[in-house]
Every structure is written in C-alpha cells, then in structure tokens.
Structure 1
C-alpha cells in the first residue's frame, strides 16, 4: 500500500478519563470505535498543560524549555510569541517527504506565524482569540445556516466573578449543532479529504476548539447529561492540607471560589455535552474516510493538548498544579501497521512522541536531537515505552511560576520552586489528595525521584537545572 495517510484529530483540553471505559460517563462512540479497531493508551501525558507550549511540543518533539514557547503566545507576558522558523517540525518534514499537508482549526503556536509557515495548507476554522488574521469563513458559514453571528448570546450562562468583572464559563448555545465551529471544522475537513483522497499520501490535522471553556454547547447536547445525576469527581475531596499555597489561592484568582454546587454540576454537564458534540463531528470525518475508500491506508490518531480540571481538586481550567486532571491525556491510534483490535497499552508515553511517530510512518528522517521517541514499537505490540514521563510549567497569564514533574506508574514527584514540593503514591491515592513529601515512610522514594528529576533536567539542558538540582539534593 505504500506510505500511509495520516489523520490527526486533536481536541483542546480534553480530560483523559472521557475516553476511559471506566471513567467519566460520556458517550464517545466514534473515538470508542477507533479504540476498538486500534490501540488505546492509558498512560499518555502532555509535557505541559498550556495550550501554546503543548502544541509546540507536538510539532517539534521537544520539551518546552528546548523549543522556547513557555506560555501562551497570545498573552502580554508571553516569553516567546512565535515558534522559531528554524526549529524542525513534523509539518515541514512531511511536506519535504512528499506529503500533502492540510490544517483546520485552532493553531495557537504563534501570534504572527501560521500553519503555512510550518508545512501545512491552512484552510481556516481558527478563532479571533488565537489567530485574528486567520479567522475566515465561520461567519458566512453560520449565516448560510440562518444565524447572525453578531447576535448569538448564550442562554443560562455561568460566570466567574473577580475584581468587579466576569468571565463566561459556559452556557447553552442557541444555534443548531450544524452551525457551530466544531461542525464548521468538520465540514472543512470533509471537503479537503475529498481532494486529498486523490493525492495520497496526505496528512490532515483538524484541531477542534473544544471541549475548552467557555463550554458553549448547542441543544440537544447541552441537555444530554443531567447535572443532578453526575457523580462528583473523586478529587472534589481536596482539602489543600499540605499542598502548595497557590492551589487554594488559584480558585480566587480564577474567580470560581463562590460557585455553587449546582453551578459546578451544570458546567460539568455542559463539558460532557461539548465532548459528545465533538465526537459526533469526528464520526462524520471517519465516515468520509470510509466513503472515499482510504480508511484502510490511513493512520488515525486522536489526542488532546492537555486536560481540564472542570472542578477537579476544586479548580477551574488549568494552572500551576501538575495533577493528572490536566497532565494526563487521551490517546487512541488506529491504522495500517498498528497491532490493534481493541488492545490497551499501559506504557508511559508523551504527546510529543507523535512527532517522530508521524515521521517514521512517512519513512522520513527523524532529527537526532529531539526529546521525543517514536511510538511505533508500542504500536506494533513490542516493548519500547518509558519508565517515567516528565512535565514542566512556567506560568500562564499570571507571570512566571516554575514547576517540574517526574511521573512513574506508581509515583509522582513535583518540584515547586516557590513552595513545598509534592509526592503522591498513585496506587494508594490515585486522585492525588495526600501529599507525602515529608512522610518518613517515603524517604527512599522521595530521594530516588528527586535524583531522577535532577538527572532529566541536566540531560535536557533545563535552564533552571543548576539551581533546582541543589534543592533536590537537599543543599
């Protein structure tokens, strides 16, 4: 069959447990179908739970401290506003290898640079908040569906309140499902696939803007999940006892400290409805692959840039907290060469590992100096996983805030530069409620993980390694 086509279905801020059969009770039939025919990774992680930084790591196979996009590029305090053009990416490498690349939806890797600068034909579907100069087509698309985009006002909205201002968190979108941005991105994808099916091999990437907040969800999805019937997240039991002080204070910073239980439950129901709606758009895309006769030769990947608290640990959105709620992500792969049929892989892997995975699929050269490793040994059912994954955080719109993380199957250690560190035994405490960093029974574990984290920082040229390793060594 030759080199496979590749279809990347990326969501924005999707929790890992939305596609776990034992996780959150949301219907994701299309993604479940991918998993039934392929491989579902249970321990996939993002290297950072910030949109711009994670997306740049996906493109480059580098940790954020090596590609330089340390926080969101659209904010005034962005450390770097654009990914340097000379950093190798899978987009340019695939284009040079003869692939026809296309990109739909959210970009968010640069203020001025676009997907066109990194090997993709950009088709639209982004949004003003992230790429004002790229936003095109949605307004006219909605008008074709009888919707005036300037007159859309959510029903029954939920707001965060802080410093005399309000931030929209979610509400019912008073338009038909086929007029949403998610549907528009799917529609753009369907049209492009019809063109690309005659020009194999191709790479197509569609980046849905959800289920990122604000959770603006059309009916019937807005009412599909009964807020009163949703079980609480287990991490709702968070007390902040023994935790870094920023965690409790971040609730006030986000303006969600005063949300009622009913408001939290409504937001969770909207979040699940949002994901259900996106899954239905993914189903349209997968059906098009079948109709075009190219599904058998297409590697299909579903992942997300990072997760979402949605009230977990009594938090909103994301921030300087390295819990699995935001660092653990969904990852499902189906296609030629994948030993699938519903296989579940528990090996530790990273979002950025997709970069060399795509290049290996295309028989393209993988750069020697990347931090990622190809998933193909695991996709073929062989050994090749990591025994630990690492994460980092540098701050969002609230300024710089340094964190580093090492996560094994059983343990997680978090270095917090301004405050107390964290240690969790995930077998005994899977929801990360008890910080064991000072527990005498975990002294050996603490030392071992500190050494591992310090070694990783040195090996990857982390700029704060010199100072951090002194702390981790107890100096």
Structure 2
C-alpha cells in the first residue's frame, strides 16, 4: 500500500458488549456506536485474554498473550521486557506520527513506548478515571488540527463507563423508571452492602442525601447513562473527523479492555471474574470505502489479534513476536475463514483464575480462594449455548467434559510457562494482587 492512511484505535474502558444496541440491548445507550457498526464491521465475539486494565492493555499493545508478555495482574510486580513487541513503535518505524491520549503511563512506563506525543488530559484530576470525554476530545481535536495532515496512529482511551458511575447531570434519570432508589423495601443490593470490595463506592457515589442506594437497577441505569455519555463523546469526535476531511482516510477501530459485571455472580459494578460480562468486549471497525457496511463477524477473536490486524490494514508487516492472528481478511470480506476455536483468559488481581472458552462451553479454574467472599468452587463449567448467563455450573455433573477441558487448559498453561522460562503457573505463583493490597 503506497499511500498511507490513518489509524485511530479507541478503547472504551469497562464497556461490556451486551449493553450496546448493536449487540441487542434494549435501551438506547449507543446510537453513535450502533451507526458506526452499521456503516462498518461488527465483531460479535471478541474476548479479552486478560483482565483488568493493565494486563489487558499490555496484551493489546504487544499482540501477545499475557502468559508470554508476563504482565498478568493489575498492580503486580512484573515489568514488560523492553524487547517485547510494541504496536505504537511499529507504526512509528513505519513512518506514522504516533499519539496517545491516555493516562496509563502514570501506572506503568511501557504504555508510553512508541508514542511521539502522549497527551494526558487527566493530569489536573486527583483520580485519573475522573477525566471527562470533553477534556479528552479537546486534546484530540487540537492535536488533529495541527498534525492531522500527516499519516498518524492515535490511541484514545476513554475512561467512562468505568466506575465511579457519575454521569453528567443531563444524563441522570435515563433508563430508570423513576421509583425511589433508596427504598428500604428493595433488597437487591443487600449483598453489596455486606461486601468487602467497593467501600469507596458504598461511602461515596452509592450514597445520596436520602440515604444509601438499595436498588440494583438504579446503579445499572447509571452504567447505561455513562455509556450514552461516552457514546455522545465518540459522536463529537467522529463529527470533528468529518469536518476536518479525515473520515475517509482514517480507519477507526473501537473496542474495550474489559467489560463490567453489574450484579452477575454477586459481582457488583466491578470487572473481575472470568465470565462473559467482563471478558466479552465490543469490536466495531469503520473505514469508508475500504470495509463493507453492515458486515458482522461471528468468529471467535482475541484482543491480541487486534495489533496484527491494524498493521495488515495499512500494509505494515506484523511485528516479530506478536502472537495474535490478523483478522483483516475477515473484515474486508476477502475470506470467511478465520478466528479461533478457543480463547484462554486469566486474571490475578481480585481473583486468581484461568478460563478456557469455546463456542459451546467455558471452563474456569480458580487457583486461590478469593478475598471477596464469593466462595466459588475450584472448577466451574458452563454450557454457553443453553446457559449464556453462566448460572448453572455443570462441573459436578459433566465431569468427563470438565476433565477433558481441564487437561487441555493445564497442558496449554504448562507449555506456555515453559516457553516463557517460568517454573510453573504464574497465576498460581503470584496469586491475588489487588485483594491483598486493598
């Protein structure tokens, strides 16, 4: 490809796929994202190999599984090797002006690798997650007005709808029926008020002058309001691209680092647990004139596939060491063959767990008793076709299948650990990080 085009990678933190209209959600949370999906390609089954934010973003940046790059926990001690592949560095070496609008460099230095410009509009906030969509877009648009004529790769990290769930006043009240959210007769949050995780939420944004919130639907509505807020922010950004004449020249890929559980599995408004509410993330790709409109991909994809896909899209070779598989031929319609038979995910922040997910089933291995008092068993098995919400654990009844999937997962972990030069399973060795550090 002789002519260089732009790539804009937008990561919306904590955005679960099934709360978007284009994935079948009933509330009007995402008109802009729905329109972009209709004008481009939607991936129905993109999954995060690691949660939460730090290991997930590292997986995205390197194109490697976390067992390979070693950053398996949020708040862990592992540092990314300087020899690990870097998506931004590869774009930079390919002649692109690279820019990140983000603040993850404040947590780990490798998130700044390869970016000529790193804009952090959250610096004036005590909490990085407090940065607003307006502040983000102001930084993005100012940069584009100066450098948008050059081929660029831009990474944008919107923090909404990550908690605390504090949507702007003009979004309050949407998606909620107006009943009293502090009704003492509503017990849907009783377990949350007894929960050891989320003290900040219980003492701050889940309290009102009328008392503490008791209705889980009210908090779910706050999450949806935050989604609509960031959706409007994306709308403003897309409008700016159009006004600057950049829409036709810019591939836009929108995804999330992880989702968020509302109340499923007694996980309240957080993003841990290797269930689909947290590991299944959106994938929307729009590039007018280059990608077909309205195409949907049912293929099983992994977040570490994104980096090689973006590189192939603009004619750059995949970086050495990237393990992901480009799904560019799927996006263009050149091929309907691709994707994976399974996805392996891990976490050891609030949980220390592994999962093996196929189209039909999911196995979860819990390596350590968690600090959140869920008392989950050491092994869980779900039939995703019959039980997509993962409510009926079959590990005790479908023992042959559970044993087979356990053997497959344990063999993969052992082989990956050996290839990485590790003495054994790093999740079991490191255990829970955030649960111990508070």
TM-score (ref. length: structure 1)? 0.75
- The answer for the alignment partner of 2:403 in structure 1 is 447
Partner Cα separation in structure 2 for residue 186 and residue 461 of structure 1? 41
- The answer for the alignment partner of 1:328 in structure 2 is 280
1:336 CA drift (Å): 5.5
Partner Cα separation in structure 2 for residue 308 and residue 257 of structure 1? 17
Q: Which runs of 4+ in 1 moved over 6 A?
A: 128-132, 247-250, 256-261, 466-469
1:105 CA drift (Å): 2.5
**1:39 to 2:35 alignment:** no
Write the mapping of 1:89-100 to structure 2, written as runs, cut at 5 A: 89-100=86-97
- 1:205-264, CA deviations, whole angstroms, 9 ceiling, x for partnerless residues? 2111110000111121122222558xxxxxxxx9xxxxxxxx999943345899887442
Partner Cα separation in structure 2 for residue 130 and residue 413 of structure 1? 39
Partner Cα separation in structure 1 for residue 85 and residue 126 of structure 2? 22
**1:413 to 2:413 alignment:** no
SS in 1 for 2:95: coil
- The answer for the alignment partner of 1:353 in structure 2 is 305
Partner Cα separation in structure 2 for residue 221 and residue 261 of structure 1? 18
Partner Cα separation in structure 2 for residue 413 and residue 318 of structure 1? 21
- The answer for the alignment partner of 2:11 in structure 1 is 10
Partner Cα separation in structure 2 for residue 369 and residue 294 of structure 1? 32
Partner Cα separation in structure 2 for residue 250 and residue 262 of structure 1? 12
SS in 2 for 1:126: coil
1:369 CA drift (Å): 2.9
Partner Cα separation in structure 1 for residue 229 and residue 426 of structure 2? 46
SS in 1 for 2:167: strand
SS in 2 for 1:406: strand
- The answer for the alignment partner of 1:167 in structure 2 is none
Partner Cα separation in structure 2 for residue 306 and residue 320 of structure 1? 9
- Could you say if the C-alpha distance between residues 53 and 406 of structure 1 is closer, same or farther in structure 2, counting changes exceeding 3 Å? same
Q: Is the 8 A contact 1:83 1:110 kept in 2?
A: no
Mark the runs of 5 or more structure 2 residues left unpaired by the alignment. 180-187, 207-211, 369-376, 429-438
Partner Cα separation in structure 1 for residue 115 and residue 219 of structure 2? 38
Partner Cα separation in structure 2 for residue 128 and residue 403 of structure 1? 36
The one of 371, 377, 384 aligned to 1:426: 384
Q: CA RMSD in A?
A: 3.2
Write the mapping of 1:52-451 to structure 2, written as runs, cut at 5 A: 52-73=54-75, 78-80=76-78, 82-107=79-104, 110-112=107-109, 115=112, 117-127=113-123, 181-199=132-150, 201-227=151-177, 251-255=195-199, 262-318=214-270, 321-335=273-287, 339-381=291-333, 382=335, 383-396=337-350, 401-418=351-368, 419-439=377-397, 442-451=398-407
Mark the runs of 5 or more structure 1 residues left unpaired by the alignment. 139-179, 230-237, 239-246, 470-475
- 1:117-172, CA deviations, whole angstroms, 9 ceiling, x for partnerless residues? 3334112223578998xx9xx9xxxxxxxxxxxxxxxxxxxxxxxxxxxxxxxxxx
Partner Cα separation in structure 1 for residue 38 and residue 51 of structure 2? 28
- The answer for the alignment partner of 1:168 in structure 2 is none
Question: How many positions carry a matched residue from both structures?
Answer: 397
